[in-house]
Amino acid sequence: EVRTFAAPGKRDLPGWLVAGARERGIALAPQAARALSARLGASTARLAVELDRLATWAGADGEVGVADVERMTADTSEVRAWTLADAIVARDRERTVAVAEELIAQGEPIPALVGGMAKRLRGAYEAASAIAAGVPAAEVEKKLAMHPYAAKMLVRSVQGVDAAELSAAIGAVADLEWWTRGGSDYDDEVALTLAVSRAAGGAAAG
């Protein structure tokens, strides 16, 4: 007899992680389970691999807390949010939607993307506004609160981009945050697709 089990929903993931940790002989604190799912998304295969790694690190009867999760797991949400924001800055609607759909398919938690996207777009807006005002690119790079190479690449990416369009994109991401907090009837996946499409120059959602 072959038995199949439904994948846990987002709300059930922390409990699923705690139980999975127990099966591996370690204790995962509930807060740590929530942090783990927030960092790595809803893919149970991906989370199971991380549980195996944490179990190896903690050892038999080991305990894993929030600080351990933060130290042992890579927070990929910001990196992925920047990839999405960079497609928006490039005004490439097709690529923007494709990246969003890929992140949805990977189980990336949508609320975790919002902060990283907003931060990246604010930096792009700041750079584009300064360049439009005649500030030399080298000076703009120095004023950006990021690694020099990252600043150089960001300044290069906004050359020729209208700062007003980036301001509108920031507004679209702000709407996304509101939508994911219950401000609309859209589910998170639909909200992300609509918001980033608009941010990249598509029509506004009705």
Asked if 65 and 32 count as a contact pair (C-beta separation under 8 A), the reply is: yes
Q: Are 119 and 77 in contact (CB under 8 A)?
A: no
Q: What is the dihedral of CA 67, 70, 73, 75, to 10 degrees?
A: 170
Please check whether residue 204 lies inside any domain of the structure. Answer: no
Which residues fall within 8 angstroms of residue 177, CB to CB, at 6 or more apart?
111, 114, 118
Write the pLDDT tens digit of every residue in 113-157. Answer: 898 899 999 999 999 999 999 999 999 999 998 878 788 889 999
Q: Are residues 41 and 84 in the same domain?
A: no
Are 148 and 107 part of one and the same domain? yes
Contact of 66 with 38, CB cutoff 8 Å = no
Same domain for 186 and 87, yes or no, is yes
Which of 21, 49, 72 lies at the terminal end of a domain, its last residue? 72
Domain count along the chain: 2
Domain membership of residue 169 as a residue range: 77-199
pLDDT tens string 39-57 = 777 778 878 888 988 888 8
Q: Is the dihedral of CA 102, 107, 108, 109 positive or negative?
A: positive
Last residue of a domain, one of 26, 42, 72: 72
Report DSSP letters for 11-22, one per residue: GGHHHHHHHHHH
Which CATH number goes with the domain that contains 109?
Answer: 1.20.272.10
d(CA 75, CA 54): 15
pLDDT in tens, 73-124: 755 666 678 889 999 999 999 999 999 998 888 778 888 889 889 999 999 9
**Could you give the percent of the chain with pLDDT greater than 90?**
57
CATH number at residue 64: 1.10.8.60
pTM over 0.85: no
Name the domain boundary from 43, 72, 101.
Answer: 72
